[in-house]
Amino acid sequence: MFLGQIPRRPSKEAAYKQLRSHLIVMASCVAVIRAAPYILHFLTRDGDVQELKLEL
């Protein structure tokens, strides 16, 4: 009834290597998501900088 043999547990070295690669991918995705608004704001701003002027 079983489709195959029960898979063996990977060694700790292989598991840590895979965990490290997954964490690197996740951290890079988070960095891209966090940096995207700043980059888009920088690219879409006008050439002349608009300053706030207070008139008293």
- Tell me: the pLDDT tens digits for 1-35? 566 677 788 899 999 999 999 999 999 999 999 99
Can you give the pLDDT at residue 43? 85
In angstroms, the CA 22 to CA 28 distance is 10
Can you give the pLDDT at residue 2? 63
pLDDT tens per residue across span 37-49 = 999 988 887 666 6
List Cα–Cα distances, 29 to 13, 23, 24, 35, 43, in angstroms: 25, 10, 9, 10, 20
Amino acid identity for residue 29 in this structure: C
Can you give the pLDDT at residue 22? 98
